[in-house]
Amino acid sequence: MTVPAKASATAPAGPDRPILEVRDLRVTFAIRPRGAWPWTPWRSLRAVGGVSFDLHAGEALGIVGESGSGKSTLARAIIGTVPSEGRILFEGEDLSRLPPEARRMRRRDIQMIFQDPLAALNPRMTVGDIVAEPLTTHFPKTPRAEVRRRVAEALERVGLLPTMINRYPHEFSGGQCQRIGIARALILRPKLLLCDEPVSALDVSVQAQVVNLLRELRRDLGIAMLFIAHDLSVVRHVSDRILVMYLGRLMEIAPSREMVAHPRHPYTQALIASVPIPDPRREKARPRPVLEGELPSPLAPPSGCVFRTRCPKARPDCAAEVPPAFPVGPDHRAACLYWDEPTPLFAETPAGAA
């Protein structure tokens, strides 16, 4: 007699199903001012407010936005280091509904590269122990010879010599430390890599090397990737699609070329216009758009569209409702009520002005 399988609350992962599905993801922190009285009420800080997107196997999705837009919090919610609401489906399984042991096993397939390469490495451990730590943690019965072989393979893949395994992090440059962090993330052969501003702490020349390394790894290993950065030009270079965030909300998502050529949201247009042009003469001569006003506090975000206080298209009805992500083209969505109208000029400042 055949025993019927238990009913599953998750949909099966098919060949065309995204490897990662994020639905209405929200992250809220309860905070209290330092030194406040015990009876001081807690305040809610919404770091991520209702973000939804899909990511397919082997695809790279870039996430851009100003500091405080919720990019890193979004990545930490996906990996499970901060509590969140909404649904995060990995290969069809809702991670929030998995029991602790099953979710721990799923973490083998999702690894993270951090922003500060030196702070991400234990200064008291050798490089060999640092890279091997995920393998020995998740597979403690792995023979030592196999661990050494996998460590040497991971180091060679990121451009480091296996003879460096007995050195300590302080003996390496910032770029080399980031390569060590990448090797540590790769040793479990994950399916999804979360890159939390992996090049922001590096020199420009080293940034290019690390970005090219990540592109090669994605191409050779077929890893899906979330690439978080402030620099839109870097994100464009490494990503198939780009997601723009502002104050915890999704402003626009589109394929990289479409995003750069035809941005629909005023915030995206301002970000793209702020990217420097390689030609010094053209860069000096062109007007530089400037967003007026300051980034609102996430403790008291504007009603309706959170970008309306700095938006040149803002109208009274922008304060009445949160705009949904309207479909404005093939695989292109923009959260603006007036996405189909031309954007008025931003305040312009000559590029050479102080």
Give the CATH number of the domain where residue 120 resides: 3.40.50.300
Of the candidates 321, 289, 282, 283, the residue with the CA atom closest to the CA atom of residue 303 = 321
What is the value of pTM for the model shown? Answer: 0.87
| Residue 351 counted as domain residue | no
Which residue has tokens 């400037």?
Answer: 290
Q: How many domains does the chain have?
A: 1
| Residue 38 counted as domain residue | no
Burial group, residue 144, by CB count within 10 angstroms (0-12, 13-18, 19+): exposed
| Per-residue model confidence (pLDDT) at position 62 | 95
Virtual torsion, Cα 29, 32, 34, 37, nearest 10 deg: -160
Structural domain of 65: 20-28+44-239
CB-CB contact of 312 with 343 (8 Å): yes
Around 146, how many Cα atoms within 13 Å sit in the side-chain half-sphere? 8
Burial group, residue 179, by CB count within 10 angstroms (0-12, 13-18, 19+): buried
Tell me the residue ranges of DSSP E strands in 233-301: 241-246, 249-255, 287-290
| Residue 62 counted as domain residue | yes
| Residue 153 counted as domain residue | yes
Which residue has tokens 């400042």?
Answer: 349
| Per-residue model confidence (pLDDT) at position 97 | 87
Tell me 117's DSSP state: T
| Residue 124 counted as domain residue | yes
| Residue 320 counted as domain residue | no
pLDDT by residue for the chain (354 residues), tens only, comes to: 333 333 334 444 455 789 999 999 999 998 887 777 778 888 889 999 999 999 999 999 999 998 889 999 999 999 988 999 999 999 999 998 888 888 888 889 999 999 888 888 999 999 999 999 999 999 999 999 999 999 999 999 999 999 999 999 999 998 999 999 999 999 999 999 999 988 887 888 788 888 889 999 998 899 999 999 888 888 888 999 999 999 999 999 999 999 999 999 999 998 888 887 777 888 777 776 677 778 888 888 999 999 999 998 889 999 998 999 999 998 999 999 999 888 876 655 554 444
Sheet holding 85-90, edge to edge: 43-55, 20-31, 85-90, 93-94
Which residue has tokens 């599953």?
Answer: 8
Around 159, how many Cα atoms within 13 Å sit in the side-chain half-sphere? 15
DSSP 3-state of 60: strand
Around 157, how many Cα atoms within 13 Å sit in the side-chain half-sphere? 23
| Per-residue model confidence (pLDDT) at position 303 | 92
Tell me the residue ranges of DSSP E strands in 83-183: 85-90, 93-94, 110-113
| Per-residue model confidence (pLDDT) at position 247 | 94
Tell me 310's DSSP state: G
Contacts of 33 (CB under 8 A, 6+ apart): 40
| Residue 283 counted as domain residue | no
| Residue 309 counted as domain residue | no
Percentages (nearest 5) of helix, strand, coil residues in the chain = 35, 25, 45
